[in-house]
Structure formats: C-alpha cells, structure tokens
C-alpha cells in the first residue's frame, strides 16, 4: 500500500512538517510505501487561476502533485491553521489536484474514495483544531473519506524535543493512531 503524507506548511522549522515527518517514519515502520510532499514542494505551485489554466493548461508541477495523489492509496495531511482556517498553501494544492487534465477525465478522480487522516500543530491552545474542521469539510465535499481520528497539538512551541519528536507520549500515540486508522480503512476498502 502506498501512502502520501503532505505537509501544508513551507515554513522552516514548521511544527506541521515535524508532524508529517513523524507520520512518515511511523508509516515506513509499518511497511508502507511512503511519498512525502513537503511544503517547499507545494510552494512551487502557482496560485490557482482558471483563466491561466484555460490558456496554458495544468502546470507540470500541479500535474505531478495530482499524479502523486492518484498513485497513493491513502493520504495524511499535516495542516497548519491560519486565522482559524486552512492555509492558502494547502488550499491551493488541494484546488490544483482537483482539476481535470482533459475533458474525458472523471470529476475529482484524485480524491473520490481516497482515505485521509488529519494532523495539526499550532502555538495556540486548540492546536489547529478550528482549521481541521475546514479541511475535513473540504475533503468530505470532494469525495474523500476522512477518518474520525485526528490529532491537534496545542502549544506546539513546547511540544517537540530537539530531535523533532513529540514530548507528550499521549500525543505521540495519537499520531500513530491516525496513521494506523488511515492504513486500516484504506486496506479494508482496497
């Protein structure tokens, strides 16, 4: 089984990139074929513009990301929260992946029936939970099966040790539960 893990933050020392990297390590430890899409890779996507798309077609970088989604059996998203919602970087990536490459392609082919799990870390007291509500709604509306288990890490500035691991054993266990549930549900649906 192949799992795509995506960090929705391009910031250096991103808390959500740290969560994504922990998810990568856990999924690899479970024997999964893991593809890690970093926030820096997402930053290469142009802002979605339907006029630009109609004139020039889907940019190569967007097509490549879409094919990474298509080849994955499941997805885990590490989702930063900006102003109680999804980040522009993550939303832009989700929008590009939703686009058809030709008129014969079924709608939302990269998303329909895909299993996803959500992670978030934030300096605030809710750990990005408000943003996860919006990401869950977006994904659910485009046909993604989002597992109910999720992780929101509050006060992220103190949550990680120098090696990038979560200090709180319960949070670390919750992260593995999210990844494990995504794997279990995707396997059951395969």
Q: How confident is the model at residue 190 (pLDDT cuts 50, 70, 90)?
A: confident
User: What share of the chain in percent tops pLDDT 70?
Assistant: 100
What domains does the chain contain, in order, with CATH numbers? 2-189 (3.40.50.360)
Is the pLDDT at 91 greater than 90? The verdict is yes
Mean local confidence (pLDDT), 125-150:
96
Using alpha carbons, list the distances in angstroms from residue 58 to 17, 100, 171.
27, 9, 39
pLDDT for residue 74: 98
Q: What is the pLDDT of residues 8-33, one digit of tens each?
A: 999 888 999 999 999 999 999 999 99
Mean local confidence (pLDDT), 84-92:
95
Tokens of 147: 């597992």
Compute, in degrees rounded to 10, the torsion defined by CA atoms 9, 12, 18, 19: -10
User: d(Cα 168, Cα 51) in Å, to the nearest integer?
Assistant: 47
Provide the mean pLDDT of the chain.
Answer: 96
Alpha helices in 10-163 (DSSP H): 15-29, 39-42, 50-56, 60-71, 88-98, 129-141
pLDDT for residue 12: 86
DSSP 130-189: HHHHHHHHHHHHTT-EEEEEEEEESSGGGTB-TTS-BSSHHHHHHHHHHHHHHHHHHHHH
pLDDT for residue 63: 96
User: What share of the chain in percent tops pLDDT 90?
Assistant: 96
Q: Which of 119, 120, 122, 118 is nearest to 158 (CA)?
A: 122
What is the number of other CB atoms lying within 10 angstroms of the CB of residue 74? 28
142 burial (CB, 10 Å; 0-12 / 13-18 / 19+) is middle
Tokens of 176: 């593995």
Is the CB of residue 23 less than 8 Å from the CB of residue 175?
yes
Q: Which of 95, 98, 74, 75 is nearest to 86 (CA)?
A: 95
Coil vs helix vs strand at 50:
helix
pLDDT for residue 105: 94
């Amino acid at each position: 089984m192949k799992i795509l893990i995506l960090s929705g933050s391009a910031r250096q020392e991103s808390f959500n990139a740290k969560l994504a990297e922990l998810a990568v390590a856990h999924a690899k430890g479970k024997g999964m074929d893991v593809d890690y899409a970093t926030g820096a890779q997402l930053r290469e996507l142009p802002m979605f513009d339907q006029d630009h798309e109609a004139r020039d077609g889907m940019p190569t970088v967007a097509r490549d990301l879409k094919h990474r989604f298509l080849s994955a059996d499941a997805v885990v998203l590490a989702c930063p929260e900006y102003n109680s919602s999804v980040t522009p970087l993550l939303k832009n990536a989700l929008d590009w992946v939703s686009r058809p490459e030709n008129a014969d392609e079924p709608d939302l082919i990269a998303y329909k029936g895909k299993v996803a799990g959500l992670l978030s870390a934030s300096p605030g007291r809710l750990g990005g939970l408000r943003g996860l509500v919006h990401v869950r709604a977006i994904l659910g509306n485009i046909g993604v099966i989002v597992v109910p288990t999720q992780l929101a890490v509050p006060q992220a500035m103190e949550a990680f040790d120098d090696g990038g691991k979560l200090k709180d054993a319960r949070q670390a266990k919750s992260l593995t539960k999210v990844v494990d549930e995504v794997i279990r549900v995707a396997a059951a649906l395969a």
